[in-house]
Amino acid sequence: MKQKEIKIQIEVAQFDELSESDRRLVELAREATERSYAPYSHFRVGAAIQLDNGEIVTGANQENVAYPSGTCAERSACFYAHARYPEAKFESIAIAARDTDGKFVTAPIAPCGACRQALLEYETLAGHGVRVMLCGGDEIYILPSVASLLPLAFTEFT
């Protein structure tokens, strides 16, 4: 039997090491946590998407008393970005979160499976890797693409 190995590449950066445009995206993702509506989990997540038309679209998790009706920050951002600018390609996304104590999480959080699948759709439309920045308190994990977060993804059917 053959073995296959799938590896992913993660850059780990300090905030100060980021380019000015990446720092801005991270700041906007952090700021977007303020617009989270999370009265049930009290876990506030923000996302900021850089588009190739120069616009940045942000989103935050929106919860609902009927739990499954809510949505994560990443999906609120990517659905809005594509609804508002259907022609624009995604370049990068930054994701930040505050824990139930209101402080930014120490360890970076990564998008849930459903958000990875949703983001992958826009990466496919972009035709290139959409950089993903996962923001922790000290460190920021940078992945080259959404696909690297979703190996063996379902991408097409005939």
Task: Determine, following the binding rule CB under 6 A, whether residue 73 of this chain makes contact with ligand THU.
Answer: yes
The span from the CA of 122 to the CA of 68, in Å, is: 23
* Known active-site residue 74: yes
Beta strands 131-135 and 90-98, pairing class: parallel
Binding segment toward ligand THU, per CB under 6 A, in 5-13, 37-45, 84-92, 120-128: 37-45
The neighbouring-strand residues paired with 140 are: 13, 135
Task: Determine, following the binding rule CB under 6 A, whether residue 43 of this chain makes contact with ligand THU.
Answer: yes
- Which residue from 109, 125, 126, 153 is in contact with ligand THU, where contact means CB under 6 A? 109
Residue whose CB is less far from ligand THU, 53 or 107: 107
Task: Determine, following the binding rule CB under 6 A, whether residue 108 of this chain makes contact with ligand THU.
Answer: no
Task: Determine, following the binding rule CB under 6 A, whether residue 74 of this chain makes contact with ligand THU.
Answer: yes
Task: Determine, following the binding rule CB under 6 A, whether residue 107 of this chain makes contact with ligand THU.
Answer: no
Binding segment toward ligand THU, per CB under 6 A, in 3-11, 39-47, 50-58, 136-144: 39-47
**Annotated catalytic residue within 63, 74, 91, 123:** 74
Q: Residues of 90-106 as b/e, b for ≥16 C-beta within 10 angstroms?
A: bbbbbbbbbeeeeebbe
Do 90 and 124 touch, CB atoms closer than 8 A?
no
Beta strands 90-98 and 44-51, pairing class: antiparallel
Q: Would you name the residues annotated as active-site residues?
A: 74
